Structure 1
Amino acid sequence: MTAASHAQTAGTPAGTPAGAPGGTAAAMAAGRANALVDVAGLRVGHAERVGDGYLTGTTVVLAPPEGMVAGVDVRGAAPGTRETELLDPRNLVERVHAVVLTGGSAYGLSAACGVMDRLADADAGFPVEGGVVPIVPAAVIYDLGRGGRLRAVPDGALGAAAYDAASAAEARSGSVGAGTGAVAGGLAGGVGTASVVLPWGATVAALVVVNAAGSVLDPGGAFLSGTRYGLPGEFGHLREPLAEEAAAWRPPVVTSFNTTIGVVATDLTLTKAQCGKLAGVAHDGLARAIRPAHTMVDGDTIFGLATCGGPAPGPDGLQDVLAAGADVFSRAVAHAVLAATGRDGAPAYLDVFPSAGGGVA
């Protein structure tokens, strides 16, 4: 079966979420931008540094003015994170003001300080006596040395630049922001995003930074595993790569440290615990699109976000949101790899498998 036919059969209950009670996946559609910014109130910004030893960047997801409810699920064995303990439902803070995804391994966590400063200047944060404390959870990928210098990493200034670039229209994918130096099983990795509007009006969307030790290719061939979960026609331009291209693929030797990180969000009202569950289910989408996932050399981390612009879902509605969250994350992984720019040691997917896009080998 070709990747295109996988996409075209995505309306079947076996491959995709069931939608609202009584609905079908075929009734679903992507949001306007097919991106995280389709969740009303969210803004996304990217900033990167390339050259002079740098090949890295930072991506920020900014909350609406009133903040957003957040949860987190960390499943990789080598995570680099900040402020995740605050997202435990037992703990005090109910809303966060931004989420930072960044390169630079643990060094890159300083990018969140630049975002925090910008939020404080805008008086956005948890109210305390005399002002506010912005709540900015963050997660990192390992991309050290990919531009030539180990310590050429994101800092507070790059975080501030990502904040300044944030827009409600930002839908870019590929080698931007935190995905600038990413790899995906030897291929070029990057930032990917996708969205779905459920038949009853709720929006669910994801943004992922794919920097995986595992493969993004189906073990039975060379099409992208994440395309199995596409909406009707979303990946219809792709074909099954020729067998000889698949047989010839030998992944370049890359660093043994990686990590895939991201967010999955909805415009509904969820609790912190429900956001944590949404993040956990999104890990199912990660594991469908990347094999193996959650390894000892990955720090796979996903944040679940709710802007609370819509009502709280009932049990059936929540089930639909969770199912959609897994699929939208898989789709975002595929978009990240398709949009990434190839470079020495990390070729682009369609450069390695030109027949997948209709090209001639």
Structure 2
Amino acid sequence: MKPGPYNAITDVPGIQVGHFTDLEHLTGVTVILPEKGAVAGVDVRGSAPGTRETDLLNPVNLVEKVQAVVLAGGSAYGLEAATGVMRWLEERRQGYPVGNETTQAIVPIVPAAVIFDLLVGSALVRPSAEYGYRAAQNLRGGLVEQGVVGVGTGARNGGLKGGVGTASLAMPGGVMVGALVAANAHGRAHDPVTGEIYARFLEQNGEFKLKHPPKPLSAPDYTDLFANPFSTSNTVIGCVATNARLTKAQAQKIAQMAHDGIARAVFPAHTMFDGDVIFCLATGEVEIEGPAELSRIGAVAADVFARALVHGVLHAYSVGGLRAYRELYEEG
């Protein structure tokens, strides 16, 4: 197995990504759009999540497909960005049809999750519906910009600058798995003693482009783990996409398994200071057989998610008083 041509979530056919970046106020919005809609699942595992339309994705509920997923800064205020994406989709008549022949409307289904970035840039300027609309205007396939862009503009990860990262992996039989992550964890993605990246062992084809040779990992020190928290409000949010044909329940299972990627990439993971949320989009082009194949996709999704999180850290640069990993460990 190897990454797709862009090593990005857009390697899944039909998936597009759009960013809107506010560098002045260090916040932004990222939109992930499946061109023909997608079956979706979600797993909310953080203790302080900020979400929209996640109950709708419960397998027992009505709507099968979503039109987009929104990831935004701004804490709970940033959920407003999804309204702008809805407006953009409505203008293109993409959504869930309601009404009858004489009275017909379209309701775009746009789940969303947010990170807390209010203390990095401006606490008063948050992503709005206009930010979401402009992010949707920037939707495209192909290469995905990473680092201090979109939802990653104000991200901080383990006390360092975080950002947006993405990765992919092609599986036998034509299944493609991709992920896009806002690296914004309370825990570190690197060993505080040696500086080694925890998830370096997952690297594909030298993708991380680290200058230093692999270093040993030190044993965790639990004594002062939360004595001086790096920050009190963090969240890893992201989206896994695949071209496999999944039910809503199966998409939810992939989202659950993808959370293992956070634990592989950062320590500690899923703390009381994190609001971790992972969506799964399944576009349905490739049939899969049985629970073993579903589990294999979930295992790959976890590794791809971890690699995407590492890319978010490694593509970041120092801004807003936060130092970047490469500046500290690669340029010193």
TM-score by length of 1: 0.84
Q: Which residue of 2 aligns with 1:286?
A: 262
Per-residue displacement from partner, 1:113-143 (whole Å, max 9, x unpaired)? 0000111111000110112110000000000
SS of structure 2 residue aligned to 1:276: helix
Q: Which residue of 2 aligns with 1:164?
A: 137
Q: CA deviation at 1:352?
A: 0.5
Are the aligned partners of 2:41 and 2:248 in contact in 1 as well (CA < 8 Å)? yes
Rate the CA distance shift 1:266–1:127 in 2: closer, same or farther, 3 A: same
Q: Which residue of 1 aligns with 2:310?
A: 334
Whichever residue aligns with residue 204 of structure 1, its letter is: V
Range 313-322 or range 200-209, more displaced: 313-322
Whichever residue aligns with residue 74 of structure 2, its letter is: G
Per-residue displacement from partner, 1:175-199 (whole Å, max 9, x unpaired)? 0000001001111100000000013
CA distance in 2, matches of 1:199, 1:238: 32
Q: Which residue of 1 aligns with 2:247?
A: 271
Q: How does 1:199-348 map to 2 (within 5 A)?
A: 199-218=172-191, 221-235=194-208, 237-240=210-213, 254-348=230-324
Establish whether residue 194 from structure 1 lines up as the match of residue 167 from structure 2.
yes
Rate the CA distance shift 1:84–1:345 in 2: closer, same or farther, 3 A: same
CA distance in 2, matches of 1:202, 1:94: 21
Q: CA deviation at 1:170?
A: 4.0
CA distance in 2, matches of 1:46, 1:344: 19
1:350 corresponds, among 315, 326, 332, to 326
Rate the CA distance shift 1:253–1:50 in 2: closer, same or farther, 3 A: farther
Whichever residue aligns with residue 122 of structure 1, its letter is: R
CA distance in 2, matches of 1:338, 1:80: 25
Whichever residue aligns with residue 303 of structure 2, its letter is: D
Unaligned runs of 5+ in 1: 1-27, 244-251
CA distance in 2, matches of 1:41, 1:242: 39
Unaligned runs of 5+ in 2: 217-227
CA distance in 2, matches of 1:219, 1:346: 16
1:64 corresponds, among 25, 31, 35, to 35
SS of structure 2 residue aligned to 1:279: helix
2:46 corresponds, among 76, 80, 93, to 76
Per-residue displacement from partner, 1:45-96 (whole Å, max 9, x unpaired)? 0001122xx110000001223x100100011100000000000000000000
CA distance in 1, matches of 2:328, 2:70: 31
RMSD of the alignment, in Å? Answer: 1.7
2:109 corresponds, among 109, 114, 135, to 135
CA distance in 2, matches of 1:46, 1:314: 36
CA distance in 2, matches of 1:229, 1:241: 12
Q: Which residue of 1 aligns with 2:223?
A: none
Per-residue displacement from partner, 1:267-291 (whole Å, max 9, x unpaired)? 0100111111111111001111011
TM-score by length of 2: 0.91
Q: CA deviation at 1:167?
A: 0.2
2:95 corresponds, among 116, 125, 133, to 125
Establish whether residue 46 from structure 1 lines up as the match of residue 5 from structure 2.
no
Establish whether residue 177 from structure 1 lines up as the match of residue 150 from structure 2.
yes
CA distance in 1, matches of 2:318, 2:192: 22
Per-residue displacement from partner, 1:250-299 (whole Å, max 9, x unpaired)? xx975310101000111010011111111111100111101111111110
Aligned residues: 317
Establish whether residue 151 from structure 1 lines up as the match of residue 124 from structure 2.
yes
